[in-house]
Structure 1
Amino acid sequence: MFSLELLGILLPALVAGLAIGLTHAPLGIEVLRRGIIFIDLAIAQIAGLGLVVMELYWPDAAGWLLQAVAVACALAAALLFHWSERRLPAQQEALIGSSFVVAASLALLLLADQPHGGEAIQHLLSGQLLFVGWSELTLTVPLYALVLLAWFVWPRVRAGIGFYVLFALAVTASVQLAGVYVVFASLILPALAAAAWPGRTLAVAWASAAMAVLAGLTAALLLDWPAGPVLVVSYALVALAVALPRWRRTGRSRPAEND
C-alpha cells in the first residue's frame, strides 16, 4: 500500500511520464512513417551534449541559460536533418545515426576525467524521473501542451521544417526529465504497437504509452529500481502485448499512419 510519502514522489513523476508519453506518441508515429527511427536518439543526445558542456564550463549558469543552450543544440540538429531530408534523402538515416554516435562520444570524452562523470552519463541516458518535482513540470508541461496544440490544430506544421522544430522542442524537454533511453522508447515503441492497428494508430499509441508509464513507474517505486530502465522495459512489454495478438492474426504489421 502506498504511503503519503511514496504518493508524493509518484505523482509528479507520473504527470511527467504521462506528459512525455502522450506528447511523444503522435511524434513517434510520424517518425515511423518517415522511416527516420534514430532521429530521437540523435537530437536527444545532441541536446544532452549541450547540457554537458554547460555543466562543465559554466556550472553556475542560470537555469534559463541551460535550457536555451539545450534548445539551441537540438534546433541546430533539427535544421541539419531537415536539410539532409531535402538534399541527401538517401543518406539521411546514416547522417542521423552518425550524429548520435559522435555526440555520445564527445560527451564521454568530456566527462572521462570528471569525478562524477559516470553519474552524469547515467543521468543523461537513464534520467531521474522519480526525482522530478512540480517546479520542473511548470516549465515543461506548458511546452508539451503547445507542441500538441500546434500538431493537431495546424496539421500543416507536420510538413517541412515545422516537424523538426516541434520534435526538437519536445525532445529537449524530455531528455532532461527522463533521459535518452526513455525518450527513444516513448517515441518508437507505442508507435510500433500502434502500427499493428491501422485506423486507430493514435488511440492505440496513447493507450500503450499511458499503460507503460503507469506500470513502469509503479514497479520502479515499489521495487526501488531505477525508473529509466524500468520504463524502457515497460514500454517494450506493453508494445508487445498490444501488437502481438494483431500480428499473430494478420501475420504482418502495417505502416503506421497519423490519425
Structure 2
Amino acid sequence: MPMDTFTLRGYETDAHGRLSVPALMNILQESANRNAAEHGFGMADLTQFSQSALGWMLMRFRLRMYHYPVYGQTIQVMTYPTFVEKYFIYRDFRVLAEDGTLLADATSTWLVFSMEKRTMVPLPDFIRNLTLPSHPDPLPRLPLKPDFQTAPFSPILEKTVEVGWLSIDQNQHVNNVAYVQWLVECVEDETLKTRELAEIDLVYRTESHWHDRLRVQLAIDTSAEAPSDTRLHRIEHSGSGKEILLARTRWRTSD
C-alpha cells in the first residue's frame, strides 16, 4: 500500500525535540487529503460532482502514540478509508519509522456538510458507491457518543482564546488541529514538562469561526475506571456556552 514519507523539521517538534501532536495531526491530515484525492473524493471532487458546495468535516478522532519520532527522523504515513455509511466515512492511519516500527496509529470519522447551510448531508452517491481499497485489519470504529461525553466535569484550569485568521481553513471555520493545540496548552505545567501524550480521543461537536471567543477547560477524569493520568477537556463558546469540542487525553512519564 502506498505511503507518504516525511522528514521532521524543527518547527514540527516540541521543547523536548519530539514531534508535537498538533504537527503530527497536520501531517496525517495532509496524507488523508492526498489519499482522498487519489480515490476520487477529495475536496475538488466534492465540488465537481455536487450541485451545491460541500466540504469535509472531522467528527471523531483518536490518536495513540507508541514512540515519538524526533527532529530529522523520517517517518512513513499509511492511510486508507475502511468503511462507508450513509452519513459517515471511516479512515485509519498508521505511522511507521523507516525500519517499520509502529510509532502511532489513529482512527477517524468524517462527514460531509453543506457550505451554504452549515449542516451535515448524506454522503454523495459517488462516495457511498466506492470500492474500498484492500488494507490491514481496520481499527475498531469509534462510538459516536463516547462515555467521556457524560463524565463529571469540574474544571481545574481555564483559558480564553479568540479565534484568529490563521486558525481558519478553506471551509471557513476553525481547523480541527487548532483546537488540539489550544487544549494541550491548557494542561498543567508539570504534566507538560514531565510527561508525554500517550492518547487523545476527540469529539468535534460544532464549528466556530473567526473572532469567536472560546473557553478552553481542563478537568481530572474522576470516573472509577480512569487512571490518574487521564484528563478531560472541553472547548465551548464563551457567550452561549455551546460545546464545540470534548476530549480525553492520557499521559505517561517521558522517557
Hey, which of these two has a bigger chunk of helix by percent?
1
TM-score, normalisation: structure 1: 0.30
TM-score calculated relative to the size of structure 2? 0.31
* Larger relative contact order (Cα-Cα within 8 Å, sequence gap ≥ 6): 1
